[in-house]
Amino acid sequence: MSGAIVSLIVGIVGVGGTLASGAVTQVLAQRAESRRLDQAQQIRAAEQRASEDQRKIDRLRSCYAQLNAHDRQYRDAMLAYAYDLKSGSTNADVTEVSSARRAQRDTRAEAQLLASDAVLAAESPVNERLTTAYRHLMSIEGESDPSTQRAKISRIIGLLDSIIPLQGHVRDLMRFEVRTTEELPDGHNSESAPATLHQTDA
């Protein structure tokens, strides 16, 4: 093989190598850019999920804050009214009780669409006791015997007082679900059997 042919072959190989090197470099660059775009897309998707999760948490926090507040206001309004009746106060006014009851019912209706099953299950005994207390409290005025009336009012007050630990239980769950706290308190358990007043007792 003559030197000219060898030189030609070497030249061809060199040119091919240069061209191949450029093509390989371009492929590698495209792959790197594709990976960068994929990573950027994954980051954006993760940020969107985090943002959506935060919106849900914020909405749930607002719902829980309203439910907690209105359950307490409803209880407090009935308790104040019961003590007024017990003391024979002429200022006893059921208007605040009725207003608190409506607010609690509206808030609870919204919570039934947003709250978790765990919170609804824990809040249900609270609502049952509030409903029972309201029903018996509204029947007090129909009681003609003062001593019987006072006894019924005392039982209603006891029922309303019994709601406090249940509300604490619900509040613990709410705080956990909206990430205010990372774990539930020690000894946290559900109280499933609501206390009730028998019709013959109140």
Q: Residues 41, 44, 48, 53: is their CA dihedral positive or negative?
A: positive
Distance separating alpha carbons of residues 130 and 160, to the nearest angstrom: 7
DSSP-derived secondary structure letter, 142: G
Distance separating alpha carbons of residues 52 and 202, to the nearest angstrom: 49
Low-confidence residues of the chain: pLDDT under 70 = 1-20, 186-202
> What is this structure's pTM?
0.72
Spatial CA neighbour of 137 closest among 43, 194, 202, 191:
202
187 belongs to a structural domain = no
38 belongs to a structural domain = yes
Query: Number of structural domains, the chain?
Result: 1
184 belongs to a structural domain = no
pLDDT tens string 50-85: 777 888 889 999 999 999 999 999 999 999 999 999
pLDDT tens string 155-172: 999 999 999 999 999 999
From residue 15, give the alpha-carbon distance in Å to each of 6, 28, 29: 14, 20, 21
CATH number at residue 71: 1.20.120
Between the CA atoms of 93, 97, 99 and 103, what dihedral angle is there, to the nearest 10 degrees? 170
Contact of 100 with 178, CB cutoff 8 Å: no
- Domain coverage including residue 95: 3-177
